[in-house]
């Protein structure tokens, strides 16, 4: 019969084990963060409402060359990516897990 009393210690001491998943160290940062801590999360301002969006879907801000503003007008988003691209931009939400384009906000504490 196997001794399973130390099974919990094995998972606690295993650095690749995170909760119930096995993770490689370079992917851990992407999994533990949410969109709320991402530099690309911005407010998209329409006429009467503001929604959260991902500026990484906009070609102008996709690279790291330009600073991402706090708020982007809806007209600018529509001009740059159109209606189909707008749906992709608005798919982001602060509580969602970070995607592969995650970038830490400048000045954020770790």
Strand partners for 97: 34
Burial grade of 67 (CB within 10 A; 0-12, 13-18, 19 or more): exposed
- What's the pTM? 0.65
Lookup: tokens for 1: 């019969």
Residue-wise pLDDT tens digits, 47-92: 999 999 998 888 888 876 778 889 999 999 999 999 989 998 998 8
Give the Cα separation of 92 and 33 in Å (integer): 13
Q: Is 66 helix (H, G, I), strand (E, B) or coil?
A: coil
């Amino acid at each position: 019969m196997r001794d399973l009393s130390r099974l919990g210690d094995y998972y606690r001491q295993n650095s690749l084990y995170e909760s119930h998943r096995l993770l490689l160290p370079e992917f851990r940062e992407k999994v533990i963060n949410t969109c709320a801590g991402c530099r690309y999360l911005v407010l998209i301002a329409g006429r009467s409402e503001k929604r959260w969006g991902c500026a990484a879907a906009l070609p102008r801000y996709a690279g790291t060359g330009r600073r991402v503003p706090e708020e982007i007008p809806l007209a600018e988003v529509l001009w740059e990516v159109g209606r189909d691209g707008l749906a992709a931009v608005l798919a982001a939400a602060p509580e969602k897990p970070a995607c592969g384009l995650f970038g830490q906000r400048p000045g954020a504490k770790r």
